[in-house]
Amino acid sequence: MSDDRRSETRIDEKTKIFIEVCSASFDNTSPANIIICNSLDLSANGLQVEIDQEVAIGAILRLCAEFGDDETLYLVGETKWVKPAGEHFNAGFELYDAENTDIIGWKKLIAAMLD
């Protein structure tokens, strides 16, 4: 999802994103490792975030996007790229059309933002 390969329109939108980089243990003795970050831009099939730590390229992770108090969407995405950006990193995620996610709601929300 680098600048050269993205085909859909991007929306400059700052929203809170939660990235689960490590799931909780099956017996709940170890909690999930979740990074809280902010989006830089959104599109129908992906998003770019500013993040405090590097994440592995190719990792398939669970994401949660909060749009104020109105809407929370649960998604699955693959880390496509990560670049240093000063004290932070910028990372691009391609969203998957996965079962038990809110990908349809995400696409509808993005479409509404474009109108």
CA distance 81 to 71: 27
Q: Is residue 24 part of a domain?
A: yes
Cβ-based neighbours of 61, under 8 Å, separated by 6 or more: 19, 20, 21, 55, 76, 77, 78, 79, 93
| Least confident interval from 1-5, 16-20, 40-44, 65-69 | 1-5
- Cα–chain-centroid distance for residue 88? 16
Interval 33-49 mean pLDDT: 95
pLDDT at 71 > cutoff 80: yes
What is the per-residue pLDDT across 93-113, written as a single tens digit (0 to 9) for each?
Answer: 999 999 999 999 999 999 998
pTM of this structure: 0.86
**CATH at 94:** 2.40.10.220
- N-to-C CA span, the chain: 23
| pLDDT for residue 85 | 94
Length of the chain: 115
Q: Is residue 109 part of a domain?
A: yes
> How many domains in the chain?
1
Domain that holds residue 86: 16-114
